């Protein structure tokens, strides 16, 4: 006896109408899940670790301040004050967050002269991201693992009243510096540089 049940053309057509959208939905979801997310190094996390370490250390923190071409002023500051003075470093976007990472492009190169791998993150739309550039200088070491030695950051903001550019450098385990360049329409450029040293 033949127990096979033959479906009518209308039933087959109805099943196809149900299955095709379902297959499309599953395929679209799979493609969407496979979309790669950028995985960037978080410069601000490294800086925060450094600041936390300095908070609990016995370092004497020396500050050097230079305004334009005037002589450099040297003084000592407390560890508590150090955190507030380097606040600009702590506001750098966290590029380990995929939402932030999608706003930046990544490029890398190796500089044989300084023996450093340079990983550069650049804002895709500079008009919307004040932190234009974040660069990590990495020292390769097969024995102990690669180490970030220097972090270079550029922030630029401008409006009708003028512009302010920050060029910031963090020397891991040693010092950090910030050069603030302000420009006003028809006015003179002002350059204010501050360096903090704790282990040089």
How do the domains of the chain map onto residue ranges?
Answer: 43-197
Retrieve residue 163's tokens. Answer: 């512009």
Residues 30-39 have a mean pLDDT of 60
On the question of pLDDT at 183 being above 50, the answer is yes
Residues 111-118 have a mean pLDDT of 96
Residues 90-119 have a mean pLDDT of 96
Q: Give the pLDDT score at 143.
A: 86
Q: Give the pLDDT score at 171.
A: 98
Would you place residue 33 in the very low, low, confident or very high pLDDT band (cuts 50, 70, 90)? low
Task: Kindly report, residue by residue over 59-88, the tens digit of the pLDDT.
Answer: 999 999 999 888 899 999 998 899 999 999
On the question of pLDDT at 17 being above 50, the answer is no
- Highest average pLDDT, of 31-35, 130-134, 181-185, comes from 130-134
Would you place residue 14 in the very low, low, confident or very high pLDDT band (cuts 50, 70, 90)? very low
On the question of pLDDT at 32 being above 70, the answer is no
Q: What is the pTM of this model?
A: 0.79
Would you place residue 159 in the very low, low, confident or very high pLDDT band (cuts 50, 70, 90)? confident
Residues 156-185 have a mean pLDDT of 94
Q: Give the pLDDT score at 10.
A: 47
Q: How many CA atoms lie within 13 A of 157 on its CB side?
A: 7
As a three-state string, the secondary structure of the chain is CCCCCCCCHHHHHHHHHHHHHHHHHHHHHHHHHHCCCCCCCCHHHHHHHHHHHHHCCCCCEEEEEEECCCCCEEEEECHHHHHHHCHHHHCCCCCCCHHHHCCEEEEEEEECCCCEEEEEEEECCCCCCCEEEEEEEEECCCCCCCEEEEEEEEEEEEECCEEEEEEEEEECCCEEEEEEEEECCCCCCEEEEEEEECCC
Residues 102-119 have a mean pLDDT of 96
Angle at 7 between CA 4 and CA 10, to 5 degrees: 180
Q: What percent of the chain has pLDDT over 70?
A: 82
């Amino acid at each position: 006896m033949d127990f096979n049940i033959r479906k009518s053309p209308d039933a087959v057509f109805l099943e196809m109408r149900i299955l095709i959208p379902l297959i499309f939905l599953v395929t679209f979801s799979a493609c969407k899940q496979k979309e790669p997310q950028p995985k960037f190094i978080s410069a601000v996390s490294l800086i925060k670790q450094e600041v936390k370490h300095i908070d609990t250390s016995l370092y004497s923190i020396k500050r050097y301040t230079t305004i334009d071409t005037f002589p450099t002023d040297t003084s000592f500051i407390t560890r508590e004050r150090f955190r507030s003075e380097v606040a600009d470093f702590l506001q750098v976007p966290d590029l380990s967050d995929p939402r932030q990472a999608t706003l930046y492009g990544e490029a890398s190169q190796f500089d044989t002269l300084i023996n450093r791998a340079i990983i550069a993150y650049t804002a895709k739309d500079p008009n919307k991201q004040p932190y234009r550039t974040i660069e990590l200088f990495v020292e390769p070491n097969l024995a102990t693992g690669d180490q970030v030695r220097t972090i270079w950051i550029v922030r630029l903001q401008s409006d009708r009243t003028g512009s302010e550019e920050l060029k910031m450098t963090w020397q891991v385990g040693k010092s950090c510096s910030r050069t603030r360049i302000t420009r006003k329409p028809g006015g003179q450029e002002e350059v204010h540089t501050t360096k903090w040293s704790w282990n040089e």
